[in-house]
Chain A
Amino acid sequence: LNNRKEIIDKIRDIPAIPAITSKTLKILRDPDSDIKEAVKLFELDPGITANILKLVNSSVFSGEIKIYSIRDALVRLGGRRITQMLLSSSVSKFMNRPLAGYELSAGELWHSAVSCALSMETIAKLLNIKLPEHAFTAGIMHDIGKILLGSFIDVKSELIISYAENENISFPEAEQEILGIDHAEAGAILIEKWELPEEFYKPLRLHHKPEEAEGDMVTELVHLADVLTLMEGIGTGRDGLRYKVSNKTAEKYQLTPSLIERTICETKVRYDEVKGLLG
């Protein structure tokens, strides 16, 4: 008997993302919307305003120009970029908690999320690829389904691991077999509940099966960045390194061992620069 229904039911208990995030998301996605409305929303929440200004002025997001107001941030970086930041800071509270089952202590899932997102940016930089705006947030959110599966894995971890070992399959494949759902699908269902834009669907749902993403670049890069993050030992718990690498995707981007190592090295340097900043 698997837990698919229970797990999907549990999505109801996950709180909605903050109202300001979903409202801003709606305003900024509407082509007829007025930027003033978004600015008004932010003004109601000084905490978020402060966070956004801290982020936009950090080395992660901006260049040399100092940004002092939300209006300025919206004009200079664009609504989409700001939305991504809002989303990232909204999900951080869910991902900062300890995670049973996967045996991750507080902050480990968030650490791996940030590393994955930064790793995507490093790969893109080294390969001279321009990333779509939603790439960073997709990297941040790719494993969010783990917060739904954790307590179920906690009960069945022996079974999942021994099944995976005996069948010589990956951890997500064993999740699928034993629980009836894997963390990738659970994450995709969660973001549907949150009514997030559909461009996040594939990167979450298919980050362990990038060949099925019909060439969606963000899904492919989330896969590669996730693999590199795991290889560093970041966010590896009970599941360990029991994940499959898509060689087809690695070949598509012409990765080499030396490029992989440079990516890990540069990502680590950037992570150390921003870790205080991203909570």
Chain B
Amino acid sequence: MLPLSRIDTGKARETPCMFTDTGVPRLLQQMFSFGAKRSNMIVKIAGASSLFDERGMFKIGERNYIVLRKVLDKNNLLVAAEDVKGCTSRTLSLFVKNGRTIVKKNGREEELN
């Protein structure tokens, strides 16, 4: 996933979910169209890891995070919990039945609260 769709607007129209600035609004729109209410939404974020990169040129994860926060701000959505940055890879699971969110990293599973 890349932060901004302006690098390839054609691609963004075809596959908006490739970019944070087009993918997340698309996700929200879909949720709203299925009847989701802002007041019921609980937003949790996991990810935004980066490599060891002194000059920061390769920190796409962190740039994704900045763009994501902007999109959420625009939509008046607050973040309830997050587990971001560092250099570990994370797997996020969402239990659709009850909203539990689990982050798996470093071989361990933790509840994201």
- Residues of A with Cβ closer than 8 Å to B? 103, 157-158, 161, 170, 227-228, 230-233, 236-245, 247, 250, 255-258, 260-262, 264-265, 268-269
Contact of A245 among B49, B58, B88 (CB under 8 A): B58
Q: Is residue B8 within 8 Å, beta carbon to beta carbon, of the partner chain?
A: yes
Tally of A-B residue pairs with Cβ under 8 A?
82
Interface string of B19-57 (1 = CB under 8 A from A): 000000000000000000000000000000111111101
**Complex alpha-carbon distance, A238 and B18, angstroms:** 24
Which residues does chain B contribute within 8 Å of A250, judged by CB atoms?
55, 57-58
Say yes or no: A257-B57 contact (C-beta < 8 A), given A161-B106, A262-B8, A265-B18: yes
Which residues does chain A contribute within 8 Å of B88, judged by CB atoms?
240-242
Q: Is residue B107 within 8 Å, beta carbon to beta carbon, of the partner chain?
A: yes
Contact of B7 among A170, A228, A231, A265 (CB under 8 A): A265
Whether the Cβ atoms of B106 and A264 lie closer than 8 Å is no
Whether the Cβ atoms of B87 and A261 lie closer than 8 Å is no
Which residues does chain B contribute within 8 Å of A228, judged by CB atoms?
58
Q: Which residue of A lies closest to B14 (CB)?
A: A269
Contact of A240 among B2, B18, B49, B63 (CB under 8 A): B49
Contact of B2 among A227, A241, A264, A269 (CB under 8 A): A264
Contact of A231 among B8, B54, B55, B60 (CB under 8 A): B60
Q: Which residue of B lies closest to A230 (CB)?
A: B51
Contact of B52 among A103, A243, A255, A265 (CB under 8 A): A243
Whether the Cβ atoms of A265 and B11 lie closer than 8 Å is yes
Contact of B11 among A161, A238, A240, A269 (CB under 8 A): A269
Q: Is residue B101 within 8 Å, beta carbon to beta carbon, of the partner chain?
A: no
**Complex alpha-carbon distance, A230 and B52, angstroms:** 12
CB within 8 Å of A: which of B72-113?
87-89, 105-107
Q: List 20 A-B contacts (CB under 8 A).
A: A161-B106, A228-B58, A233-B89, A238-B89, A238-B106, A240-B49, A240-B87, A241-B51, A241-B52, A241-B87, A241-B89, A243-B52, A244-B51, A245-B58, A250-B55, A257-B63, A260-B58, A261-B60, A264-B2, A269-B11
Which residues does chain A contribute within 8 Å of B52, judged by CB atoms?
170, 241-245
**Complex alpha-carbon distance, A260 and B55, angstroms:** 14
Beyond A232-B1, A241-B52: 7 further Cβ-contacts under 8 Å? A227-B58, A228-B58, A230-B51, A239-B89, A241-B51, A243-B51, A245-B52
CB distance from A120 to the nearest CB of B (A): 16
Q: Which residue of A lies closest to B12 (CB)?
A: A265
Whether the Cβ atoms of A238 and B51 lie closer than 8 Å is no
Which residues does chain A contribute within 8 Å of B60, judged by CB atoms?
231, 260-261, 264
Say yes or no: A158-B89 contact (C-beta < 8 A), given A247-B53, A265-B11: no
**Complex alpha-carbon distance, A241 and B54, angstroms:** 14
Whether the Cβ atoms of B51 and A261 lie closer than 8 Å is no
Which residues does chain B contribute within 8 Å of A260, judged by CB atoms?
57-58, 60
Contact of B8 among A232, A233, A236, A265 (CB under 8 A): A265
**Complex alpha-carbon distance, A110 and B2, angstroms:** 22
Whether the Cβ atoms of A242 and B87 lie closer than 8 Å is yes
Which residues does chain A contribute within 8 Å of B58, judged by CB atoms?
227-228, 231, 245, 250, 260
